[in-house]
Amino acid sequence: MLYSASYFEPQNHHGLLVSISRSHPRSFQVDTKLPFLAPSQTLLDDWKHQQLTEAGYIDRYRQELQQAWPQVNSWLASLTPEGDCTLLCWEKAGEFCHRNLAMKVVRKHRPDCYGGRDISADLGLKCPNCQALIIPGIDQSYCPDCREWITTPI
């Protein structure tokens, strides 16, 4: 499955670590990079200098993905639901970020490979009712044994 997270939230890292940013922290080791999913330097500069709204950023990033579509499409075709990997960039969970836009593309074109955004990789979370392992989420988690949504422990 494919997940996304910040470099700085290792609890949300699953399997192979894949950089989709123009750079990554010096001390951080990634398994591979997908530069065609990284926003252009011009787009980043315009965003940092507040020359774009979120809607403007989204529009420009979509245009960049369209220009890189042969690479994006080839990568999407290569995905399999077996084996986990995490698309990584700088922004922490909840912040506006291009990785969320990239994950929308995955969810649209390869829903069978979509694992989620900023999902904890801690497999030790247990249901308080039956002690079964729960499927973690951001605000709520699911217990497959109880078949109930429960508040995610912090």
Instruction: Quick: pLDDT tens for 45-64.
Output: 999 999 999 999 999 999 99
- The angle, 0 to 180 degrees and rounded to 10, between the axes of the packed helices 41-48 and 54-67 is 180
Q: Among 27-31, 45-49, 60-64, 144-148, whose mean pLDDT is lowest?
A: 144-148
What is the pLDDT, as a whole number, of residue 33?
97
Distance separating alpha carbons of residues 100 and 57, to the nearest angstrom: 12
Please name the residues in contact with 77: beta carbons below 8 A apart, sequence gap of 6 or more.
none
H or E stretch at 5:
strand 2-6
29 and 90 housed in the same domain: yes
Q: What is the pLDDT of residue 77?
A: 95
Domain limits for position 133:
122-154
Number of domains the chain is built from: 2
Q: Are 6 and 79 in contact (CB under 8 A)?
A: no
95 shares a domain with 28: yes
pTM for the full predicted model: 0.76
Based on the domain organization, do 41 and 104 belong to the same domain? Answer: yes
Please tell me whether residues 93 and 153 are part of one structural domain: no
Q: Are residues 69 and 19 in the same domain?
A: yes
Are 74 and 133 part of one and the same domain? no
- Please compute the mean of the pLDDT values over residues 33-44 and round it to a whole number: 97
